[in-house]
Amino acid sequence: MLPAVVLGACTQTQAEVERAQVRDAGVQEKLAKELAGLVPGKPETCISQFPQKQSSGYGATILYRVNNGLVYRSDTVGGCEGIGRGDILVTRTPSGQLCRGDIAQTFDQSSRFPTGSCSFGEFVPYRKP
């Protein structure tokens, strides 16, 4: 009986699955809107942290806006989805670059408690044609 209870606690209901799918579809729609009119380029392993870039989160994807004509996209692995709700993204990179595999942490803006961490994927530049 105990294994059945444990298994039941780990499964999602159909309603939870459907809500997650709707939420994910909304996130993907917002991401597509941000990248509309831009053309993806060759993925890069590292990007410079300077000049300072505006970052925004869309699910597991982070966009770094350099200017109106250049945005870098990095699909992360882990738990940095909190930046989509306003959490602060913190990186510790002594080289002055953000690189694939670097670890980032997220923190709640008001409490300053950690809310997640993730590793960066490749950085895909999106440019105006």
Listed by start position, the domains of the chain span: 2-127
d(CA 119, CA 121): 7
Here the tokens at position 47 are 């990007």
In the chain, the amino acid numbered 98 is: L
What DSSP string runs through 20-52? HHHHHHHHHHHHHHHHTT-EE---BSEEE--S-
23-73 confidence digits (pLDDT tens)? 677 888 999 999 999 999 999 999 998 877 889 999 999 999 999 899 999
Predicted confidence at residue 25, as pLDDT, reads 76
Mean pLDDT on 103-120: 96
